[in-house]
Amino acid sequence: MKTSRKIIFQLTAVMLLALQIACAKPASATKTMESASDSVSPAISALVATPEPTATPEPAETPETLEQLQADLATASSPLSTESRYAGGDYYYLMQGANYEMVLIRFSRSLESKVLYRGGLNMKFTVLNGTVYIEDGYRFNGLMQITRDGEESPISAIDPLGDSARSWYYATERYQYVLEPHNVSWGQIFRVPNDPADADANHFNTGDQNQARCLGLTDLEEHVYGFIPYNGFLYYSSKADGEEDFSLWRVLPDGSGREKVCGGLRGSKLCVDDDGRLYCMTTTSVHTDVSNAAYNAPGRQYLEPDGTLTAADYTAVYPIGEDAEYLYYDGGFMQVRVKNNGELLATKHENARGYRVSKATGEKDLTYGVSLYQYTPVGDYLFNHYDALMIPKTGGEPVALPGSKEIRLEIERYARVPSVLIDGEGSVKLELSGSITYAVYYLLYRSDDVTPGHEVRAVYLNHVNDGAMYFSPGNYVLKIARGDYWINDEEGFGESGAYSKSVATEMTAGVYTISESIASGFGSDSWGGLG
């Protein structure tokens, strides 16, 4: 490392990260290094305080008629897992940020942007009449409601958390409909009122059939895999143990009964297409014309008016979305065709270009400069969620989504690493504590030479859980730097970082761990930087 610059500030003893290295024991034993710092891996619940509701409105009255309940379902929003949305003149989209988080951004038609919320990787959102509803088990149970002016208030807590990636939520202004997982793939549907008065409840008993709190719309014995509001009912897919195909059911919104629509579903996810038709999404593995490659071809089984299902069609070219005037296609990224022997074959189009088709004439009237395989029509644009890009529907080259530049810069900052990273082997193993909150840099020196640049081992943990060093027995000094993100080798984490150095310690063959301690300053010297 360079030594031309050093960080000149000193931390107080309570902020130092100290080490205590126990006497060596046989290799099968575990030794302990205790740190004097605050917690390296604090509890998630302590990271972000749950906002308190600013007001507790009176609970809305439960509709008494089936017609009212059906009307409520008919206006159910898209699922909270929707990644982008155009509503009320504003655009909303989720972008993966640095430090294992998702960022919800809103921008107007004038392209002015604002970060609305930061949450966990499994967070989901939807928008109803300008109000954003967020499900984020990383921060809280239930839903977070964010009004148009930015006021946050948690509503309708529910337990179990329901933050599984396999959970689905649909929100209306009065209720949330949730599939609570009871297994890695199936669960039970509940209806919970959006009532801020229940926000402080520790949990709902999901076995409670009290309509005012948590109404079970399906039985625990039913293995429900997916559901969707459609024509005033809740349609859901289920499969009993030992069955190969799924069945399609619908349940009356008041929970008074359910009926089987049909069997023979080849998949479990239910959707409504751009024409308002219910279908089951399914996939099948198809051989491609690329050697040793396969393609999971999407297919659809539509629900016919007589209650039967169409056969799954994997060769149809489905639009990626539509608006009032056009249908948009990805350009044939993968095209599936039926060979003479009846087998399916997929062909990849390397130079495919997306296009749109006029609904009025049925003709292709515009071809885009890129494949629209990852794009979704949203308002006046086509959004690429993976790359945070957008293209005007009227054509042009992809540009960065408003508000995404700052998040990209954060990602780049968190991705920086020191230039000195030294791996190795040995009979001594030092287990290193990482952190979701901070990056941690561990540098090991022989005690007779702690000169920067003479490191024996150097490990950098960039917001990960843990790591390890392996080295030969001897007398060592360990330096630790901790901070938000790495600046450079001269400045380290800057003056906001925390730095410490252990006393020289003899380490024999075995396993050592670094654990947390509320004590401070023992067995350590202050370290004013990387030099």
* DSSP per-residue codes, 7-24: ------GGG-----BPPP
pTM: 0.72
Q: pLDDT tens across 346-378, in order?
A: 887 767 899 999 999 999 999 999 999 889 999
Q: pLDDT tens across 77-91, in order?
A: 778 777 899 998 999
Q: For residue 102, give both structure tokens.
A: 């998702």
Residue among 15, 40, 35, 16 nearest 512 (CA)? 35
Place of tokens 């100290």: 18
Mean pLDDT value across residues 132-138: 84
Q: pLDDT tens across 161-183, in order?
A: 444 555 677 888 778 888 877 77
CA 271 to chain centre: 21
**Across 41-55, 142-156, 483-497, least confident range:** 41-55
Whether 421 shows a pLDDT value over 60: the answer reads yes
387, 425: one domain: no
Distances (CA, A) of 29 to 26, 44, 472, 509: 6, 30, 17, 10
360, 442: one domain: no
Domain extent, residue 335, equals 317-402
Per-residue model confidence (pLDDT) at position 167? 63
Q: What are phi and psi of 502, to 5 degrees?
A: -80, 165
Select the more confidently predicted residue: 399 or 524. Answer: 399
| Distant-in-sequence, close-in-space partners of 254: CB < 8 Å, separation ≥ 6 | 66, 69, 211
Per-residue model confidence (pLDDT) at position 197? 64
CB 433 within 8 A of CB 463: no
Per-residue model confidence (pLDDT) at position 343? 87
496 domain residue, yes or no: yes
Select the more confidently predicted residue: 131 or 33. Answer: 131
325 domain residue, yes or no: yes
Mean pLDDT of the chain: 78
Per-residue model confidence (pLDDT) at position 99? 77
364, 459: one domain: no
508 domain residue, yes or no: yes
Which of helix, strand or coil describes residue 36?
Answer: coil
- Could you say which of 402, 436, 464 is where a domain stops? 402
CB 305 within 8 A of CB 277: no
Calpha distance 113→119 (Å, rounded)? 18
Between the CA atoms of 418, 419, 420 and 423, what dihedral angle is there, to the nearest 10 degrees?
Answer: 90
Whether 54 shows a pLDDT value over 80: the answer reads no
Per-residue model confidence (pLDDT) at position 35? 37
Q: For residue 152, give both structure tokens.
A: 């946050």
Per-residue model confidence (pLDDT) at position 162? 42
Calpha distance 486→116 (Å, rounded)? 27
Calpha distance 245→264 (Å, rounded)? 5
Q: For residue 50, give both structure tokens.
A: 């749950």
Q: For residue 47, give both structure tokens.
A: 């990271």
- Could you say which of 402, 426, 457 is where a domain stops? 402
432, 398: one domain: no
Return the DSSP state at 320.
Answer: S
418, 385: one domain: no
Mean pLDDT value across residues 135-142: 76
Whether 253 shows a pLDDT value over 80: the answer reads no
Per-residue model confidence (pLDDT) at position 198? 60
Q: pLDDT tens across 450-476, in order?
A: 988 899 999 999 876 788 999 999 999
142 domain residue, yes or no: no
364, 422: one domain: no
Select the more confidently predicted residue: 179 or 44. Answer: 179
103 domain residue, yes or no: no
Select the more confidently predicted residue: 209 or 307. Answer: 307
390, 419: one domain: no
- Could you say which of 382, 402, 422 is where a domain stops? 402
CB 154 within 8 A of CB 50: yes
Residue among 85, 141, 95 nearest 117 (CA)? 95
493, 512: one domain: yes
Calpha distance 121→488 (Å, rounded)? 28
Mean pLDDT value across residues 408-421: 91
77 domain residue, yes or no: no
| Distant-in-sequence, close-in-space partners of 201: CB < 8 Å, separation ≥ 6 | 157
Number of structural domains found in the chain: 2
pLDDT above 70 coverage of the chain, percent: 78
Per-residue model confidence (pLDDT) at position 441? 92
